[in-house]
Structure 1
Amino acid sequence: MSERLRTRDLAFLVAETPTSPCHNCTVEIFEPGDSGFDYDRLIELIRDRISFVPRYRQRLRTVPGHLANPVWVDDDKFDLHFHVRRSALPRPGTSEQLRELVARIVSRPLDRGRPLWEMYLVEGLAGGRLALLSKSHQALVDGVQTVDIGQLLLDHSAEPKQLEPDEWAPRRTPSPAGLVAGAVRETLTEPAVLLDSLQSTTSAVLRTADASTRRARAVAATLARRRPERPTPISGALSQQRRVITVDTSLADHRAVRKAHGGTVNDVILATITGALRAWLMTRTESLGGLRKIRAVVPVSVIDEELEATSLGSMIAPHYVDLPVGEPSPLVRLHQVSYSFTAHKEGGRAVAANRLAGIAGFAPTTFHAMGSRVAFEELRRGFQLSVTNVPGPQSPLYAAGARMVGSYPVPPLLPGHPLAIGVTSYDGSVFYGITADRDRLPDADLLGTCITEALTELTEASGGRQRAPRGRRKPSRTGKASRPTRPGTPAPADGDDSGSTTGSTSR
């Protein structure tokens, strides 16, 4: 029997527009060394492990008459080479060139007539490195039944695990009549399906009403010759194009600040982002424009029986924090951010980062996807920025013997939100990934530089020496991702205290 799409997953498909594609991306950087890692090895690796995520070989079929939600069906024309693509930069490819390529790829929506994911192996980077860009729709990765495929490709050893051959054959695609019969049968026999169908229909009606209301208001505003409200620097209508910025920093620097002032590395990361936003806004002609705080939603891992459990052992809940961009002191900003998490830390629900990273099958890519889902579901709460911060393992990971040396999240932009920030800690580094609207934030590159400078300001204010970030001092534009589930589950270094938002508080 085909599995029916849940209403909460259908919402991502309904809300998707050309200016707000609903997919999560991750860029990973690999050093092939003597592994021979190339496109053919990647195809072989994915073919061996895709059976662990069967939905990656399924597409959606709509039920005639919309009698029920769409269903997942096996793609009888599944072509792995269509989904896994090969690209290259002119050698030696620079981080700027990679950034531009990634930005163009993440700007394009996925093909809904096929399984909702793509992957690109980018060759030609300086030093013989390779970049792997993965792209999965938010309706595909729910963390409950399906995890991100990127986590399946990584091992804790340069020797990949040997798995049993995959003898997959697609099941027969249901006919339109079969889809209708299945919808009627499930509606009559399964109350949950009936409730989902009613919710979907109600949501569609409400969306139509909302659209009509918006059009009526627009007409009224025009007739009244009212001037539209001026958007803030980090709000407003989106274009179809994106910018992607990545920054490498040292986990040791974050830990040094935490050691000097208490709290968690997550607090230091958010204080760094606050300082960077302040500096970036002050370079713009409008300066802070009266903006004293930025309301951010920061998904956190919790243990809460009232929330939907994930396959990775914890739940994800929204946490709101006002980033004090109007505060000139970096240490005061740090303490204000840390204080905002006090109730969360003392409530007994928080999952410590070292515990989270030690969960069997833990994967930053999947948790970033889940954090983005939470931010999407909280849109009506009126926040201005989403930040997902996930702790990764502090030991090297490998794909087909090639060592991963960087992991950069590329979070999706929500409607009306031209900026989103993701953070992943991995193997002694903290990797910041920034997604920005190309037209609304043409100076987003400067925000990457401000991240580095804000961390320097914090370390110097804490009496520590500034360490040079691993790799390079300037924002890089490359990327990397996360960690495997069943095939290879690397163990994090003992005592990893590298804090997170989606991985909660203790780093």
Structure 2
Amino acid sequence: MARKLLKINDSSWLFAETYRTPMQVGMLATFAVPEDRPTFVADLVERWRSVHQFEAPFNYQFKKAPIPSWVEVKDDHIDLDYHLRHSALPSPGSQRELGVLISRLHSAKMDRRYPLWECHVIEGLEGGKWALYMKAHHSQVDGVGGIRLLRRMLSIDPDKRDMLPPWAVGTHGPDQSGLPPREKPGTELERPQSAGLGGALAGGVRAGASVAGSLSRTYAETLIGGGDTERAAPFRAPKSIFNGRIHTPRRFATQRYSIDRMKHVAKAADGSLNDVFLAVCGGALRRYLRELEQLPKDSLTANVPVSVRAHEGAKVGNAVTFLYAQLGTDIADPVKRIERIKTSTRLGKDRLPQVGQGAMDAYTAVLMLPFLSQAMLGFGGHGRPASNLVISNVPGPAEIRYLDGSQMEEIFPVSLLFNGQALNITGVSYAGEFNIGYTGDRDSLPSLQRIAVYSGEELDALQSTLGV
């Protein structure tokens, strides 16, 4: 059987996994049932069950020995009935019933005897809708890679029919989007051949020096402090209720805003949409923790993933690094909070080495080594956290997308948790809307929905204070 060796960054998610901390990411999308096809969902499931063509990563099985690898499984050896599930919501099929189901589905660790993915088709959602929930292991898919798979799976053409299911598209199957292929930008380490061996060696030396310099500055601040007071560093975050040991059950909540609205606020604040997103999260977490009388006096720190993909292909594995940013939870004024966040994220970006993807993988592996070592050895949730939570922003499709003529209306990310970080907030843009998924540990975070509600109220407050 063909084997594909895992990168260190990818294999670490597998070795850090326990039944309490399944290392999987998911996507929840809602679609409109076409008015002229009331049996659309049943027909779709029946047709999908007949498709036994599997593309990477849906035909990969993890093998630990002798070297951590993906083994390609033959199509006729994959049990599709295990991976494809058909469910229905209890009446009235509201967002609450859907959230309860997704919370339960996302709590369960996947069985490594099978390829690490599941596809759930869910009918009975009120308003003539149905839902698609997919989950895959984080060692195979990161946020950006998942969205690119989604782009390949869905079409911009509402009249397209007999579309292939996600496992038959994957990273190597046909692109069903109907969009022309994008140009593939190069990376800093992709030198022209005329540079010769000397040029390649010089580039490697420069990349190594940049990585070493960034890491040394980062962990010098971790060990001895100092530097800019707005600069966040790993393991300098205050301990909070988000940073203890977690348990298996999950909670899931959602929120959405108009992207135009967020851009208007960002322009008034002389910042970016991501600055607004972080400021809204910071304000919501400040209010939530104050109500629980658990607000630390120092600002919470967010771990913010940054995509470093060198091209548009949705390959198997991760292409992401991380920066640390303060959330201004120690600041009551929403405008002063976003100013703190702007400064902190700028300082975090300035610290990242300007290198190609290979060197960036090495940088990320070393940067995350202390945290991942904690997770793999079972020490996570004891002592000072590397950060208080993960907040991620993933660009999604700008155009309305369809699956066999069924329009996708919303898409929400469902993320992973681990000991020491009981909350993840991830946003995905789609067709003019910014959709946020809040994934939390059920035992650590009472009333997770309040954080989603407070996020909306914090955007109102920021908008009002800025006079937008």
State whether TM-score is above 0.5: yes
- Cα pair 1:35 1:402 within 8 Å, conserved: no
* Corresponding residue of 2:382: none
Distance 1:315 1:136 in 2: 16
Aligned to 1:110: 110
Give the direction of change, closer, same or farther, for the CA distance of 1:82–1:377 in structure 2 (3 Å limit). farther
CA contact (8 A) 1:42 1:400 kept: no
Aligned twin of 1:26:
27
Separation in 1, partners of 2:445, 2:86: 30
Mapping of residues 45-60 of structure 1, within 5 Å = 51=54, 53-60=55-62
The 1:446–1:378 alpha-carbon spacing in structure 2 relative to 1, beyond 3 Å, is farther
Matched letter for residue 10 of structure 1: S
* 2:282 matches 1:278: no
Q: Once the two structures are superposed, what CA deviation does each residue of 1:209-257 show, in whole Å capped at 9, x if it has no partner? A: xxxxxxxxxxxxxxxxxxxxx9621110111100001112221221111
Paired with 2:100 and 2:366, the residues of 1 have a C-alpha distance of: 28
**Residue 326 of structure 2: aligned partner:** 322
Q: CA deviation at 1:50?
A: 5.6
**1:74-97 Cα distance to aligned partner (Å, 9 max, x none):** 154312232111111123301111
Displacement after TM superposition at 1:328 (Å): 0.6
Q: CA RMSD in A?
A: 3.4
Judging changes above 3 Å, is the alpha-carbon distance between structure 1 residues 426 and 60 closer, same or farther for their aligned structure 2 residues? same
1:396 aligned partner, one-letter code: I
CA distance in 1, matches of 2:46, 2:348: 43
1:267 matches 2:275 = yes
Deviation, structure 1 residue 127: 0.7
- Structure 1 pair 376/404, CA: closer, same or farther in 2 (3 Å)? farther
Aligned counterparts of 1:59 and 1:13: Cα–Cα separation in 2: 12
Question: Which one of the candidate residues 257, 262, 276 is aligned to 2:265?
Answer: 257
2:459 is paired with a residue whose SS is helix
Determine the C-alpha separation between the residues in 1 that align with 2:348 and 2:49: 39
| 1:176-195 superposed matches below 5 A | none
Q: Give the Å deviation of 1:260.
A: 1.2
Distance 2:432 2:57 in 1: 33
Amino acid in the other structure paired with 1:72: V
With over 3 angstroms needed to count, the CA separation of the structure-2 counterparts of 1:397 and 1:58, relative to structure 1, is same
The equivalent residue for 1:38 is: 41
Say if 1:99 and 1:245, in contact at 8 Å, map to a contact too: yes
Q: Deviations over 1:397-426 (max 9, x none)?
A: 111211111111111002221111110111
Name the CA distance, whole Å, in 1 between partners of 2:243 and 2:165.
Answer: 49
Q: 1:384: Cα distance to partner?
A: 1.5
1:348 & 1:70 partners in 2: Cα distance? 29
Q: Does structure 2 retain, via aligned residues, the 8 Å contact 1:159–1:401?
A: yes
Alignment correspondent of 2:124: 124
Residues 302-321 of structure 1 mapped to structure 2, 5 A cutoff: 302=308, 311=313, 316-321=320-325
SS across alignment from 2:89: strand
- Number of the residue aligned with 1:177: none
The partner residue of 1:293 within 299, 314, 326 is 299
Shift of 1:55: 2.9
Cα deviation, residue 394, structure 1:
2.5
Bigger drift between 99-108 and 40-49 goes to 40-49
In the other structure, the counterpart of 1:237 is 245
Aligned length: 371
Alpha-carbon offset, residue 348 of structure 1: 11
2:459 matched residue in structure 1: 455
Aligned with 1:136: secondary structure? Answer: strand
SS state of the match for residue 90, structure 2? Answer: strand
Q: State the Cα deviation string for residues 356-402 of structure 1 (Å, max 9, x = none).
A: xxxxxxxxxxxxxxxx9999767368112111101222221111211
The 1:165–1:448 alpha-carbon spacing in structure 2 relative to 1, beyond 3 Å, is: closer
The residue identity in structure 2 corresponding to 1:282 is R
- Aligned amino acid, residue 26 of structure 1: M
* Partner of residue 15, structure 2: 14
Structure 2: how far apart are the matches of 1:97 and 1:337?
A: 35
Partner of 1:159: 159
Among 376, 385, 392, the residue aligned to 2:396: 392
* Paired amino acid for 2:298: R
Structure 1 gap ranges (5+)? 169-229, 351-371, 465-507
* Alignment partner, residue 73 of structure 1: 72
**Aligned pair in 2 of structure 1 residues 162, 68: CA closer, same or farther (>3 Å)?**
same
CA distance in 2, matches of 1:296, 1:12: 20
Task: Tell me how far 1:261 sits from its aligned partner.
Answer: 1.8
How far apart are residue 23 of structure 1 and its match? Answer: 0.5
Aligned to 1:393, the other structure's residue is in SS state coil
2:429 pairs with 1:428: no
TM-superposed CA distance for 1:344, in Å, is 6.3
Provide Cα deviations, 1:298-333, integer angstroms capped at 9, x if missing partner.
112347xxxx87735995321110111010110111
* TM-score of the superposed pair, with normalisation by structure 2: 0.71
| AA of the residue aligned to 2:14 | L
Q: Which amino acid aligns with 1:342?
A: R
Q: Distance in 2 between matches of 1:14 and 1:61?
A: 12
